[in-house]
Amino acid sequence: MKIKITFLILIIISCNLFSQLTQFTQIDNLPFKRVSKIKGVSDSEGNVCLYYSVYSFSNYAIIDNKGKIIKINKFKEYEGYILWGIIADDSFFYVFTNTENINEVEQLKISKKDGSFSSKKILLSNDKKEKIVANFSSGNKLYMLSIRNEPEKLILTTLTSKEEIFSKEIENNIPNLYIRFNKSLLKFYSEAYENTMANGCYRQKIYLRGDSILMTFDGYDYEKRKSTNWTEIITINLTEYTSGYRKISPDTLFRREKTNSFLLHDKLFKVRFANQIFDLSIYNLDDLSLIKQYAIHPKDSFNLVDDYIYFGFQNYFKIEKNLLDTTQKVLDFFNDGSYPFVLARKIDESKIKLRIGLTDAEEPFIMEPSLPTMTNSVIFSANFIDEGDFPPLEKSRFFETTLSYPGFEKIGKSDTKINLIENYNELLEKVDHNSGMRTLYFHPDGIHFAYMDKKEKALKIFLIINY
């Protein structure tokens, strides 16, 4: 009888999971069992442009809001090919691509009605000494930041869905401008849905906030070329084309200290790891006033952890809090990690959740980045949800903590996951059998989950109807 009841419960759970999914469409008869890249964008009416790469060919599928495939355009993908972003207007999707980060972008203008396209190259600058260092797309605009040395310049360029190009030099109030941007790998965040640990360990981040671009630079003194515990904040005003510079500079730099930060709305969360201290400080972004600080020394109780400390790769080993029975053991455990991160997500109006830890990521996360690719790039879009590499390749050690909002006092744990994809892992595993690549993107009716079904050699798109 117990077996029958258990089986019935499993059937009910499975039905509830699948009730949240409805198939939107699928692309059949792919020549291989794996796609190497996949990204999707939906417009406000539910029309979709799905990009996927198969054996050195870029494919752009135009799909209407009923799931009908209008047309698939196929292009040869050359070495160094990078998808910069996809934006839309009422009639067209605009796809921007680039090769080898030269000061030129190729625009594909694809009709939503019949999938026909036109292509043109857009020269961003005649100055061969000008170098693009960051770009992202949001709404109906593609943004690009470029630098030039001797004299130092920072240039902002925008391309719109109306095919307008605008370029403006930013009034420079930024110390060590050229070396800062030339040596940085800026990771763009649109919302907290990019909350993966692979993304979090970037120590140079870029955010779009209303009429401003905000950038944070953590843990490095660009003038003296050495590690530090600073968080530097740069603001670019998009209406006045001015720049501002501010710095959070703790008084004491501890031995082997590692630091990083994360911006969520108008609050900045800064973590510091060292042998002698763990510090979580929360600042008001407007005036950098300190709202709350947890400074934990070896003699203190490490009481921020919700339940477990996690360690490992994708299937994390859970360490009970009491197994690391002294704060010094906790500090030593985390000090063995390489690159720190803090991720934040507002759970509801009264709670906020943080994931704090370190990853053993490879060196390109910090300095001297290689040529960007789709999986390690400054070039991610607010129109994409970027889940990072699947599965994560870096070993991580972390804990989660739930705080009250806006007081940021420690409260009981929340089961809501820090990352959108993690909330749906159980659901997605029901359809994602040995997926070669997968992605999520926002849709007016919910969230689209697109993945490669290796068994059927098909790309399938499902709608998650409750999120």
Residue type, 55: Y
Mean pLDDT over the full length of the chain: 81
Q: What is the pLDDT of residue 19?
A: 45
Residue 333 has pLDDT above 80, yes or no: yes
pLDDT in tens, 54-102: 878 899 999 999 999 999 999 887 766 778 888 888 999 999 887 666 7
pLDDT in tens, 419-441: 766 766 666 666 554 555 777 78
Cβ 118 vs Cβ 92: under 8 Å: no
Cβ 200 vs Cβ 192: under 8 Å: no
pLDDT band at 194 (very low <50, low <70, confident <90, very high): low
Contacts within 8 Å (CB) and 24+ apart, 455-458: 456/28, 457/28, 457/29, 457/30, 457/31, 457/32, 457/33, 458/26, 458/27, 458/28, 458/29, 458/30
Cβ 405 vs Cβ 352: under 8 Å: yes
Residue type, 462: F
- pTM score: 0.84
Q: How far is CA 105 from CA 77, 82, 158, 285, in A?
A: 14, 10, 12, 34
Q: What is the pLDDT of residue 33?
A: 67
Q: Domain coordinates of the chain in residue numbers?
A: 79-183, 191-415
> Among positive and negative, which fits the CA dihedral 390, 391, 395, 397?
positive
Contacts within 8 Å (CB) and 24+ apart, 91-94: 92/161, 93/41, 93/43, 93/47, 93/49, 93/60, 93/62, 94/161, 94/163
Q: What is the pLDDT of residue 61?
A: 96
Range name among 124-133, 341-350, 403-412 with the lowest pLDDT average? 124-133
Q: What is the pLDDT of residue 375?
A: 31
Q: What is the pLDDT of residue 362?
A: 54
317: tokens are 């080993």
The C-alpha atoms of residue 410 and residue 32 are separated, in whole angstroms, by 50
262: tokens are 């994360």
Residue 379 has pLDDT above 60, yes or no: no
The C-alpha atoms of residue 256 and residue 265 are separated, in whole angstroms, by 30
Cβ 347 vs Cβ 206: under 8 Å: no
Q: What is the pLDDT of residue 193?
A: 54
Largest Cα–Cα distance of the chain, in whole Å? 80
